[in-house]
Amino acid sequence: MNRNEQSNGNSHIGSTSTEDACADAVERILQAVPEILDAMIEKAKGGSQQHAKFLFDWAKLDATFRNEEEESSCPSLAQILLDRLREDTGESDSASTTDVL
């Protein structure tokens, strides 16, 4: 038994590589995702803005709640930057929707 095994009682620590430990951690996290999401949803339903914001951002729901009029009158920063990049590189794009800046 090596020193790690003796000091913490985990006999698998000494024989597990870092990659194996990381793979195990990822697998455990993935298995827990449904329970984690359920808990976060309950917190959000209970009024936690932090949990609600995380869930909305994670699910990309922030854009879902905008109506079409808002979308057309207020382009996203990403759209503005893409349009600017196209202008700077001389590309033309008929899908470009902004005349801003």
Region at 53 (left for phi over 0; alpha for psi -120 to 50; beta for the rest): alpha
The parent domain of residue 70 ranges over 66-93
Do 23 and 52 lie in one domain? The reply is yes
Find the angle CA(26)-CA(28)-CA(59) to the nearest 5 degrees. Answer: 70
Q: Is 99 within the bounds of a domain?
A: no
Domain count, the chain: 2
Say if 3 falls within a structural domain: no
Amino acid in position 85: L
Q: Is residue 77 part of a domain?
A: yes
pLDDT tens digits, one per residue of 27-55: 999 999 999 999 999 999 999 999 999 99
Residue-wise pLDDT tens for the chain (101 aa)? 444 444 455 545 555 699 999 999 999 999 999 999 999 999 999 999 999 999 988 888 865 666 555 556 677 778 888 888 888 887 655 544 445 44
pTM of the full structure: 0.44
User: In terms of domains, do 53 and 84 share one?
Assistant: no
Residue 55 belongs to a domain: yes
Domain presence at residue 70: yes
